[in-house]
Amino acid sequence: MEKSLDAELRGEAGGLRVEVDARGRVVAEDVEGSKEPVPGEEVIMTLDADVQNRALEVFGDESGSCVVMDVRNGDVLCMVSSPSFDPNLFVSGVPTRIYRALADYERKPLLDKAIYGTFPPGSTFKPATALALLEAGVNPAERVVCRGSWRTGNKVQRCWGVHGSQDMHNAIKNSCGVYFYAMCNRAGVDLIKAAAEKLGFYQECDIGIGNQRRGLLPSTAWKRETFPHDPVWHPGRRHPWPSGRERCRSTVCSWRSSPRAWPMGASRSSRACSSPSVELTGRGPPSRTYRFRRSTSTSCVLV
């Protein structure tokens, strides 16, 4: 965030014009020729210090990420990547020994997992598949019986439970994998991909931080390019990823955008600065302090 707002935060350097003698001692000052420094803008952040610190405490040395968002206005209240490190180590040059320890650590503290780490979104992806099914004309009242697994040829996909007869509403509520295994071929991979993109998957989060990873949403074109010797989507291979597993990959930030798209009518706008005109988020110039905001209505994604 500091890098993204560097121009606003940096300000302008000032200068003092003086007259010195042969020994470098100041003998006079040219007030009119001097220039007063201009302080940089101060930015109001939407981060909640208590939530941010609590997330760091909960993770400890474990590897993962936490993003918390106010679903009412898109404010990012917490964005944690764990394990973390002290950025002050890099101010005057980090010793090689310490850098190697950070770079070689298997839990990757130098990787910002919230925007650069990609993971299977799991059941948070199922509403995207449900939208694709609706677009394909599937009746949401149509039922599928869940007995704990679904077989296609010699391939068996497991559900986390035995849910019995499920329509679309109950399949989402109960996170029934069998319903989506049975129905996903009715929509097809391209329609599911399009629905997921509308909800924010495979998209960069518009919080002013660049170079985010987008993850992976398989499609027929992707299959042809990646597997030229087997370019066809076989029915059994389609089943896992419409439930957010296997080939499907997304960042924690884009998962965080997806739940907000439902209560807010598919609006995915987010922000990390709360001033109404911060240029970073298309809302105008920043105000003058780093501040933390609290809120009780949140959307939270943990990995």
Active-site residue list: 123
Is the Cα torsion angle 289, 290, 294, 297 positive or negative in sign?
A: positive
Q: CA 162, CA 28: separation in Å to the nearest integer?
A: 88
Buried b / exposed e across 23-49, counting CB within 10 Å, b at 16+?
eeeeeeeeeeeeeeeeebbebbbbbbe
Asked whether the beta carbons of 180 and 126 are under 8 A apart, the reply is: yes
CA neighbor of 75 nearest in space, from 297, 301, 288: 297
Maximum Cα–Cα distance for the chain, whole Å? Answer: 95
Asked whether the beta carbons of 34 and 26 are under 8 A apart, the reply is: no
Q: CA 293, CA 76: separation in Å to the nearest integer?
A: 10
Tokens (6 digits) for 177: 């994998």
Q: CA 79, CA 6: separation in Å to the nearest integer?
A: 20
CA neighbor of 52 nearest in space, from 71, 66, 72, 70: 66
Q: Which helix (H) or strand (E) holds 260?
A: helix 252-261
Q: Count other Cβ atoms within 10 Å, centred on residue 285.
A: 12
Asked whether the beta carbons of 78 and 52 are under 8 A apart, the reply is: yes
Q: CA 102, CA 82: separation in Å to the nearest integer?
A: 12
